[in-house]
Each structure stands twice: as C-alpha cells, then as structure tokens.
Amino acid sequence: MKGRGILRIAVLALAAIEAALGIALLAIFLQPASDPMGAEIGQGMAMLTAIPLALGTLPALLLAWHGRWLWPALILALAAPPAFFLLWAHA
C-alpha cells in the first residue's frame, strides 16, 4: 500500500503542476490585445492549450484525487506535455 500512496502523491503533484502551468498559459493567451489579429491568435493558442489540459491533465488529476486507476492517470499526466508541444509545433 505504501507504493500506491507514493504513486498517488506523484501523480497528484505532476498533474497539479501541469494544471497550474496550463491555467497560467490560458490567462496569458486570453489577455486583451490592442491588435485584433493578435487577439484572435491568442484565442486560437488558448484553445490549443485547453485540449491537452482537458483531455490529459484534468482527468489524471481527478483519477489521482480519488485514488483510482493510478497507472493510467500517470500515463495521462505524462502524455499531456508532449501533446501540448506537438499541437504547438503544428499550429
């Protein structure tokens, strides 16, 4: 049971850090811009940021919070940053 608790804490910490960084990026991208084109680009980047956050980080955080399916939660938490960078690179 001790290893399960360590895994749960690790997934919680990883997903919480990813969620905080994702929310910070969303706040930065949604800042009002004086240029309308810049505002549209920011909104598009915010949507690209929200995809890995909603499909990887938040489910991992919820699974770890409830202590269920910790290994799939770890995989989701570890897959979210590469997914973000792949979406960013191909935007």
Convert the pLDDT of each residue in 23-67 to its tens digit: 999 998 888 877 888 888 888 889 999 999 999 999 999 999 999
SS3 content of the chain, % helix, strand, coil (to 5): 85, 0, 15
pTM score above 0.95 = no
* Domain range summary for the chain, segments of one domain joined by +: 2-89
What was the pLDDT predicted at 1?
64
Are the C-beta atoms of residues 57 and 15 closer than 8 Å to each other? yes
Are the C-beta atoms of residues 14 and 77 closer than 8 Å to each other? yes
